[in-house]
Amino acid sequence: MKQVVPSVLTSDPGDLEKKIRILERLADVIQIDIMDGEFVPNISIGVGEVQRVNPQAQLEIHLMVRHPVKYIQSFARIGAFRIIFHIECDDAAAHVIREIKQFGVQPGIALNPPTPVEKIRPFLDSVNVVLVMGVNPGLQGQKFMPEVLPKVRAIKEIRPKIIVEVDGGVNPETGPDLVDAGVDILNVGSYLFKQLPVEDNWERMQRIIGEGNRG
């Protein structure tokens, strides 16, 4: 079953709370992007701000950080059900996956647009989710890079049942091609808040996956 998961990328605790309060009325799962200023140039909110907001939806944490192992326990303790890290990080992927599983959390692995699928192939049997970045990570509002679509198809050929997400540049224009390529989860960030009301933008995305689920 295909799904839309909203993502929140912010460094402002007030903005975080405002967006979470809106999104938790619409979605069962919310992705929160965490940036360390090293793996990507920008810095986001941290675990403390997320905990204070106390989201009433399930949390998927996307760690755009150089050393994801440092973050796993903290996010597991506040109830994250899934933690996604980047294959390009400085921690060994096998070690990160073991650490995530140790806390009873689903592991996911992400790859940036320049990174080939072969880089994550050894870990596809050890993770629940692969997150394919449709843009270079760190900034919202970037244009989707269609050259990542073959990666989605390649991952599905290797492991057909694995959940594939795409994050970055996802909107009603790019969504149908992503669904056709086999994407299971559309991560939608800046589009939802580009113009109000958010609920209307959410409904547009829901129609896209509704058509995909019927197909």
DSSP annotation of 117: G
Nearest to 34 by CA among 6, 62, 53, 14: 62
Q: For residue 192, give the amino acid letter.
A: L
167: annotated active-site residue:
yes
Q: Is 178 helix (H, G, I), strand (E, B) or coil?
A: helix
- Dist. CA 146–CA 152, nearest whole Å: 11
26-58: b (≥16 Cβ within 10 Å) or e: bbebbbbbbbbeebbebebbbbebbeebebebb
Of 15, 33, 90, 180, which one is the catalytic site residue?
33
The tokens of 13 are what?
């605790």
Of 36, 91, 167, 184, which one is the catalytic site residue?
167
Residues with catalytic annotation?
33, 167
